[in-house]
Amino acid sequence: MHKHHSALGLATTLRPVQPVTLIRPHAASRAARFFVEKFPGRSMYAVKANPSPELLQILWDSGITHYDVASIAEVRLVARTLPEATLCFMHPVKAEEAIRQAYFEHGVRTFSLDSMEELDKIVGATNGAADLTLCVRIRVSSDLSKLSLASKFGVMPGETKELLIAARQVADALGICFHVGSQAMSPDAYAQAMERVRAAIVEAGVTVDVVDVGGGFPSTYPGMEPPPLELYFETIHRAFESLPVSYSSELWCEPGRALCAEYSSLIVRVEKRRGDELYINDGAYGALFDAAHIGWRFPVLLLREPDSNARDMPFSFYGPTCDDLDHMTGPFMLPADVQAGDYIEIGMLGAYGSAMRTAFNGFGSDETVVMEDEPMASLYMPAERAIPSNVVKL
Ligand SMILES: *Cc1c(COP(=O)(O)O)cnc(C)c1O
């Protein structure tokens, strides 16, 4: 595939009519190597954040050997793309048929659960298998995260003891897992959750072989600049070391966002301007679901030559569909003279961007190009490595 050196060059020479996804394999590889080298345990990739087979291959080539899958389609996808990978089925509510097929056809041995019903289902679907790693998902707070995952899953403290004891009886290895919510803005989220793990272990008096701190590791967006990931790793390591678990127990994590946010961005075209509202050709039903539905702010950059010297002002966006809901509040800071026909790069869309895309109303595009430049922001590039010209201040 032809590689491009800059988003600006691409927009000004090709003038694409459809939105174009820009992928940066080197950025995903850098994130994966960072986790492999620095996380004090095993990092498995949460596939739902971005299931692209190209990305899965890049992560594998960079040392990620374990994959957190949540559906039988994700099991099949990873098994097909990376036949040597280890799959962990970490959705706490699964179809019995999915468990059976994952176990017998794809060699999946690790499953999560948060109820007695699910434990019975797993035991039944695997014909009482003796080689299971069962991870009990406990409920923890999402208060320090931008996106809550606290309501839907996780066994409540009052029921944890009984479930841990029951799972211990049928598991070859017993784990405890949790998810602090996505985009955790402080390492304290993990410190607090680890205290819940400690309480659960003490109360149930079981031997725990795996502690899985889940996902939630942040990326960087306008107004959401987290502390360095090393601080998260140190906090988790310290908390893990002080848990009442044996020396041979393992520490796992399941990053989604942090491994792929920097992997891709999007070039869109402005089709119309109405005051401070820009009508662009991707939106809520495309790669910008989070911008529309949960008010997520992504960094933006005007791609125009010569560069505008107008001062920045806040804009909101409308996507291309005929639906009022297809609206993104932002604010997105762009030069005051943006007009129809201009191109904009929207950054940090590798996680939960293209994964959510639909073809609703006939919009959306699969066009993808490989870039050699740097992402618009990064948690993995040392600051002294001269900021490339396309990096914007968040
Ligand atoms: C979504 C999810 C993840 C990934 O979360 P991020 O916030 O993207 O890191 C990890 N584990 C489970 C079980 C999830 O549902």
Q: Quick check: bond before 226 cis, omega within 30?
A: no
Cis ω for the linkage preceding 83 (within 30 of 0) = no
* 200: number of Cβ within 10 Å: 21
Ligand 1 centroid, distance to 215 Cα (angstroms): 4
Per-residue pLDDT of the chain (394 residues; tens, 9 = 90+): 578 899 999 999 999 999 999 999 999 999 999 999 999 999 999 999 999 999 999 999 999 999 999 999 999 999 999 999 999 999 999 999 999 999 999 999 999 999 999 999 999 999 999 999 999 999 999 999 998 888 889 999 999 999 999 999 999 999 999 999 999 999 999 999 999 999 999 999 999 999 999 999 999 999 999 999 999 999 999 999 999 998 899 999 999 999 999 999 999 999 999 999 999 999 999 999 999 999 999 999 999 999 999 999 999 999 999 989 999 999 999 999 999 999 999 999 999 998 888 888 888 888 999 999 999 999 998 664 444 445 554 5
Cα separation, 222 vs 374, whole angstroms: 17
> Does residue 90 line the site of ligand 1, with CB under 6 A?
yes
Looking only at the bridges linking them, the beta strands covering 182-184 and 145-147 are antiparallel
> What pLDDT is recorded for position 150?
80
- 3-class secondary structure per residue, 316-376: EEECCCCCCCCEEEEEEEEECCCCCCCEEEECCCCCCCHHHCCCHHHCCCCCEEEECCCCC
Q: Does ligand 1 have an atom closer than 6 angstroms to the CB of 290?
A: no
Q: Is the C-beta atom of 48 inside 6 A of ligand 1?
A: yes
Q: What is the pTM of this model?
A: 0.94
Q: CA 88, 89, 92, 98: dihedral to nearest 10 degrees?
A: -160
Give just the sign of the alpha carbon dihedral 291, 294, 298, 300.
positive
CA gap 179, 295 in Å, rounded: 22
